[in-house]
Structure 1
Amino acid sequence: MYEIRQEVMVFILALLAGGIVRLVYRVIVCVRRMIRHTRLAVEIEDLVYWLGVAVYLFVQIYHTSDGSIRWNFVLGVVLGTILTSIMIMKAEKLHKKIYIWRRKDFS
Protein backbone atom coordinates (compact mmCIF):
# COMPACT_ATOMS: atom_id res chain seq x y z
CA MET A 1 0.00 0.00 0.00
CA TYR A 2 2.87 2.34 0.76
CA GLU A 3 4.30 1.87 -2.74
CA ILE A 4 0.99 2.79 -4.39
CA ARG A 5 0.79 6.00 -2.37
CA GLN A 6 4.35 6.81 -3.31
CA GLU A 7 3.63 6.26 -7.02
CA VAL A 8 0.51 8.43 -6.80
CA MET A 9 2.54 11.20 -5.17
CA VAL A 10 5.17 10.92 -7.92
CA PHE A 11 2.40 11.23 -10.51
CA ILE A 12 0.91 14.29 -8.78
CA LEU A 13 4.33 15.92 -8.55
CA ALA A 14 4.86 15.19 -12.25
CA LEU A 15 1.50 16.83 -13.05
CA LEU A 16 2.62 19.90 -11.13
CA ALA A 17 6.00 19.91 -12.86
CA GLY A 18 4.31 19.77 -16.27
CA GLY A 19 1.99 22.60 -15.28
CA ILE A 20 4.89 24.72 -14.10
CA VAL A 21 6.80 24.09 -17.34
CA ARG A 22 3.76 25.17 -19.39
CA LEU A 23 3.04 28.24 -17.28
CA VAL A 24 6.64 29.44 -17.50
CA TYR A 25 6.50 29.20 -21.29
CA ARG A 26 3.19 31.08 -21.29
CA VAL A 27 4.83 33.88 -19.31
CA ILE A 28 7.63 34.01 -21.88
CA VAL A 29 5.05 34.27 -24.69
CA CYS A 30 3.25 37.10 -22.85
CA VAL A 31 6.52 39.00 -22.41
CA ARG A 32 7.22 38.54 -26.12
CA ARG A 33 3.84 40.09 -26.92
CA MET A 34 4.52 43.08 -24.68
CA ILE A 35 8.13 43.68 -25.72
CA ARG A 36 9.18 43.30 -29.32
CA HIS A 37 11.94 40.71 -29.81
CA THR A 38 14.29 40.03 -32.65
CA ARG A 39 14.48 36.51 -34.03
CA LEU A 40 17.86 36.01 -32.37
CA ALA A 41 16.47 37.07 -28.99
CA VAL A 42 13.55 34.64 -29.36
CA GLU A 43 15.92 31.81 -30.22
CA ILE A 44 18.16 32.58 -27.26
CA GLU A 45 15.14 32.75 -24.94
CA ASP A 46 13.92 29.40 -26.24
CA LEU A 47 17.35 27.83 -25.77
CA VAL A 48 17.58 29.11 -22.20
CA TYR A 49 14.02 27.96 -21.54
CA TRP A 50 14.63 24.42 -22.80
CA LEU A 51 17.91 24.13 -20.92
CA GLY A 52 16.12 25.30 -17.78
CA VAL A 53 13.29 22.83 -18.37
CA ALA A 54 15.79 20.00 -18.84
CA VAL A 55 17.55 20.84 -15.58
CA TYR A 56 14.26 21.33 -13.71
CA LEU A 57 12.78 18.02 -14.89
CA PHE A 58 16.05 16.21 -14.19
CA VAL A 59 16.02 17.52 -10.63
CA GLN A 60 12.36 16.55 -10.24
CA ILE A 61 13.04 13.03 -11.52
CA TYR A 62 16.04 12.75 -9.22
CA HIS A 63 14.06 13.82 -6.16
CA THR A 64 10.91 11.83 -6.86
CA SER A 65 12.25 8.53 -8.15
CA ASP A 66 15.99 8.57 -7.40
CA GLY A 67 16.90 9.35 -10.99
CA SER A 68 15.05 6.52 -12.70
CA ILE A 69 12.70 7.65 -15.45
CA ARG A 70 9.33 6.01 -14.92
CA TRP A 71 6.39 5.98 -17.29
CA ASN A 72 4.07 7.56 -14.74
CA PHE A 73 6.40 10.54 -14.35
CA VAL A 74 6.59 11.10 -18.11
CA LEU A 75 2.82 10.65 -18.42
CA GLY A 76 2.27 13.05 -15.52
CA VAL A 77 4.43 15.76 -17.09
CA VAL A 78 2.66 15.41 -20.44
CA LEU A 79 -0.80 15.43 -18.83
CA GLY A 80 0.19 18.38 -16.66
CA THR A 81 1.16 20.43 -19.70
CA ILE A 82 -2.01 19.44 -21.55
CA LEU A 83 -4.29 20.25 -18.62
CA THR A 84 -2.55 23.56 -18.04
CA SER A 85 -2.89 24.42 -21.75
CA ILE A 86 -6.62 23.67 -21.58
CA MET A 87 -6.98 25.83 -18.47
CA ILE A 88 -5.09 28.68 -20.16
CA MET A 89 -7.37 28.48 -23.24
CA LYS A 90 -10.51 28.51 -21.08
CA ALA A 91 -9.20 31.44 -19.06
CA GLU A 92 -8.48 33.37 -22.26
CA LYS A 93 -12.01 32.71 -23.55
CA LEU A 94 -13.49 33.84 -20.24
CA HIS A 95 -11.32 36.95 -20.29
CA LYS A 96 -12.51 37.81 -23.80
CA LYS A 97 -16.17 37.34 -22.83
CA ILE A 98 -15.76 39.56 -19.78
CA TYR A 99 -13.87 42.17 -21.79
CA ILE A 100 -16.54 42.27 -24.53
CA TRP A 101 -19.36 42.37 -21.93
CA ARG A 102 -17.74 45.23 -20.01
CA ARG A 103 -17.02 47.07 -23.23
CA LYS A 104 -20.73 46.91 -24.18
CA ASP A 105 -21.74 48.23 -20.75
CA PHE A 106 -19.50 51.28 -20.98
CA SER A 107 -20.32 52.12 -24.61
Structure 2
Amino acid sequence: MKGIGSEGIAFLQALLAGMIVYSVYLCVRKLRRVIRHSLTAVAIEDALFWLATAIYLFVQIYYTSNGSIRWYFVLGVVLGAEIVFALQRRVEKIVEKNVRKRGDKFRQKY
Protein backbone atom coordinates (compact mmCIF):
# COMPACT_ATOMS: atom_id res chain seq x y z
CA MET A 1 0.00 0.00 0.00
CA LYS A 2 1.29 3.41 -0.91
CA GLY A 3 1.68 6.14 1.62
CA ILE A 4 -0.09 9.47 1.33
CA GLY A 5 3.19 11.16 0.36
CA SER A 6 3.78 8.94 -2.65
CA GLU A 7 0.14 9.35 -3.70
CA GLY A 8 0.56 13.12 -3.44
CA ILE A 9 3.62 12.95 -5.66
CA ALA A 10 1.65 10.80 -8.14
CA PHE A 11 -1.09 13.46 -8.14
CA LEU A 12 1.48 16.19 -8.85
CA GLN A 13 2.90 14.07 -11.68
CA ALA A 14 -0.63 13.72 -13.05
CA LEU A 15 -1.06 17.51 -12.89
CA LEU A 16 2.16 17.92 -14.83
CA ALA A 17 1.07 15.31 -17.37
CA GLY A 18 -2.21 17.15 -17.94
CA MET A 19 -0.35 20.43 -18.34
CA ILE A 20 2.00 18.89 -20.88
CA VAL A 21 -0.81 17.29 -22.90
CA TYR A 22 -2.84 20.49 -23.09
CA SER A 23 0.23 22.62 -23.85
CA VAL A 24 1.15 20.37 -26.76
CA TYR A 25 -2.41 20.57 -28.06
CA LEU A 26 -2.26 24.38 -27.81
CA CYS A 27 0.87 24.32 -29.94
CA VAL A 28 -0.88 22.14 -32.51
CA ARG A 29 -3.84 24.56 -32.59
CA LYS A 30 -1.59 27.59 -32.98
CA LEU A 31 0.33 25.87 -35.77
CA ARG A 32 -2.96 25.28 -37.58
CA ARG A 33 -3.69 29.00 -37.43
CA VAL A 34 -0.29 29.87 -38.86
CA ILE A 35 -0.27 27.17 -41.56
CA ARG A 36 -3.64 26.33 -43.09
CA HIS A 37 -4.41 22.60 -43.19
CA SER A 38 -6.90 20.56 -45.16
CA LEU A 39 -9.53 18.60 -43.27
CA THR A 40 -7.64 15.39 -44.03
CA ALA A 41 -4.43 16.80 -42.57
CA VAL A 42 -6.30 18.01 -39.46
CA ALA A 43 -7.85 14.56 -39.00
CA ILE A 44 -4.46 12.85 -39.34
CA GLU A 45 -2.84 15.32 -36.93
CA ASP A 46 -5.61 14.78 -34.39
CA ALA A 47 -5.37 11.00 -34.69
CA LEU A 48 -1.59 11.12 -34.19
CA PHE A 49 -1.94 13.56 -31.29
CA TRP A 50 -4.48 11.39 -29.46
CA LEU A 51 -2.48 8.23 -30.12
CA ALA A 52 0.65 9.88 -28.73
CA THR A 53 -1.36 11.25 -25.79
CA ALA A 54 -2.76 7.81 -25.00
CA ILE A 55 0.72 6.27 -25.06
CA TYR A 56 2.17 9.09 -22.95
CA LEU A 57 -0.58 8.86 -20.32
CA PHE A 58 -0.36 5.07 -20.26
CA VAL A 59 3.37 5.29 -19.56
CA GLN A 60 2.76 7.92 -16.86
CA ILE A 61 0.09 5.75 -15.21
CA TYR A 62 2.33 2.72 -15.45
CA TYR A 63 5.25 4.42 -13.71
CA THR A 64 3.31 6.39 -11.10
CA SER A 65 0.73 3.82 -9.98
CA ASN A 66 2.10 0.51 -11.20
CA GLY A 67 -0.33 0.30 -14.11
CA SER A 68 -3.55 0.63 -12.16
CA ILE A 69 -5.76 3.59 -12.96
CA ARG A 70 -6.38 5.68 -9.89
CA TRP A 71 -9.11 8.31 -9.94
CA TYR A 72 -6.84 10.91 -8.41
CA PHE A 73 -4.51 10.43 -11.40
CA VAL A 74 -7.38 11.07 -13.81
CA LEU A 75 -8.46 14.08 -11.74
CA GLY A 76 -4.88 15.36 -11.73
CA VAL A 77 -4.63 15.16 -15.53
CA VAL A 78 -7.91 17.03 -15.96
CA LEU A 79 -6.97 19.68 -13.38
CA GLY A 80 -3.55 20.13 -15.00
CA ALA A 81 -5.19 20.76 -18.37
CA GLU A 82 -7.64 23.19 -16.73
CA ILE A 83 -4.79 25.12 -15.12
CA VAL A 84 -3.05 25.61 -18.45
CA PHE A 85 -6.39 26.52 -20.07
CA ALA A 86 -7.03 29.21 -17.44
CA LEU A 87 -3.49 30.58 -17.76
CA GLN A 88 -3.78 30.65 -21.53
CA ARG A 89 -7.05 32.59 -21.39
CA ARG A 90 -5.57 35.09 -18.94
CA VAL A 91 -2.47 35.63 -21.10
CA GLU A 92 -4.61 36.06 -24.24
CA LYS A 93 -6.74 38.71 -22.50
CA ILE A 94 -3.64 40.60 -21.35
CA VAL A 95 -2.07 40.46 -24.81
CA GLU A 96 -5.33 41.54 -26.46
CA LYS A 97 -5.66 44.47 -24.05
CA ASN A 98 -2.08 45.60 -24.75
CA VAL A 99 -2.53 45.27 -28.52
CA ARG A 100 -5.69 47.38 -28.37
CA LYS A 101 -3.93 49.99 -26.25
CA ARG A 102 -1.03 50.25 -28.66
CA GLY A 103 -3.41 50.32 -31.62
CA ASP A 104 -5.29 53.24 -30.09
CA LYS A 105 -2.02 55.11 -29.49
CA PHE A 106 -0.95 54.41 -33.09
CA ARG A 107 -4.26 55.70 -34.48
CA GLN A 108 -4.05 58.85 -32.35
CA LYS A 109 -0.54 59.52 -33.55
CA TYR A 110 -1.35 59.18 -37.26
What are the residue-to-residue correspondences of 1:27-106 with 2, within 5 Å?
A: 27-106=27-106
CA distance in 2, matches of 1:42, 1:64: 32
CA distance in 1, matches of 2:60, 2:68: 11
Cα offset, 1:41, TM superposition:
0.1
CA distance in 1, matches of 2:102, 2:76: 38
Q: Which residue of 1 aligns with 2:16?
A: 16
Code of the aligned partner of 2:77? V
RMSD (Å), alpha carbons: 1.1
**3-state DSSP of counterpart to 2:91:** helix
Percent sequence identity is: 49
Cα offset, 1:101, TM superposition:
1.3
Cα offset, 1:74, TM superposition:
0.4
Code of the aligned partner of 1:47? A
Rg: which structure is higher?
2
Cα offset, 1:105, TM superposition:
2.5
Cα offset, 1:30, TM superposition:
0.3
Code of the aligned partner of 1:22? Y
Report how many residues are paired. Answer: 106
Deviation string, structure 1 residues 53-89 (Cα, Å, up to 9, x no partner): 0000001001111111101100000111111111111
TM-score (norm 2): 0.92
Structure 1 unmatched runs, 5+:
none
Structure 2 unmatched runs, 5+:
none
TM-score (norm 1): 0.94
